[in-house]
Amino acid sequence: MTASGTFGYGAEFMPYMDLSKLGAIVVKGLSLYPRQGNPAPRIVETPCGMLNAIGLQNVGVDDFIEKKLPLLKGVDTHVIANIFGETIEDYIEVAKRLDGAKGVSALEINISCPNVKKGGIVFGTDPQEAFKVVSAVRNATRLPVITKLSPNVTDIKVMVKAVEDGGSDAISLINTITGMVIDTERRKPVLATATGGLSGPAIRPIAVRMVWQAAQVAKVPIIGMGGIVSANDALEFLIAGATAVQVGTANFIEPDSSVRVAIGIAEYVSRKKTRITDVIGSLRIA
């Protein structure tokens, strides 16, 4: 899969790759109304990654349904709509509007984005609030619900249990890790918002660890992400217990990174003369 926020609304990448080779496209996060996002600068490169504070800029759920989604008609892959809101009511309304949208296969609830001043972060770090928003969305749609978890928590296992109890059909993790870059000449943050979300290879070991921890308690499928740029990276997540993976920041470097990762996984399975189901959760500690 592609990770939300790194692949636009899908159609933008049609000139560069065959989208049908992907298991799913997770589109840019959708809110009830259009958002302009944060002021510039909003992105800065870091060693082995990038820091972003886009602020969830998007066209809004209605424009997506009317103009963006039809462009994916005929593409033989699943379209997953990532959604977010500033209140539980926002989440409910966005979910309801997407529920009847032809071509949407599932919803991914973003309760973990760290780069806005209000909204998602409170849901993503409080088990009770996470339970409330997930259960509300679960009751508002017939679509499968995936909950995207934040790494900025004390105990990921507690959050896994909370969203499972709320009715989440699957869990995806991790989202970006809150970070900061400082301009030493000006003695000011580089990003206009001071902090942003760190992504890329720098966070992969943390992401793999958290997927492994989540897999110890999760009863629903886990989608792993965080710094995947190669098939070997993806295999770490699968061995740790993820049943699927998302490729994010790598899409900015090579638009077809997700397809390359999928091909590499298939080659690994063939070389090992095994099945992908035998790879998932096969980590040996002792």
CA distance 273 to 271: 5
CA distance 97 to 31: 11
- Tokens linked to 10: 């899908």
DSSP bridge pairs for 197: 52, 178
Degrees (nearest 5) of the Cα angle 46, 247, 278?
A: 130
State the pLDDT at residue 180.
Answer: 98
CA distance 19 to 25: 8
Domain 11-38+55-180+203-279 falls in which CATH fold? TIM Barrel (3.20.20)
What residue spans define the domains of the chain? 11-38+55-180+203-279
The reply to whether 48 belongs to the active site is no
Give every residue of the chain whose pLDDT is below 50, as ranges. Answer: 114-120
Question: Is pTM, for the whole model, over 0.75?
Answer: yes
State the pLDDT at residue 116.
Answer: 45
State the pLDDT at residue 100.
Answer: 87
State the pLDDT at residue 213.
Answer: 99
State the pLDDT at residue 122.
Answer: 72
Given 26, 27, 53, 113, which residue is catalytic? 113
Rg value, the chain, Cα: 18
* Main-chain phi, psi angles of 55, to 5 degrees: 85, 25
How does pLDDT run across 104-139, given as a tens digit for each residue? 999 999 997 543 444 445 789 989 999 999 999 999
DSSP bridge pairs for 223: 172, 244
Smallest Cα–Cα separation from 173: which of 237, 223, 209? Answer: 223
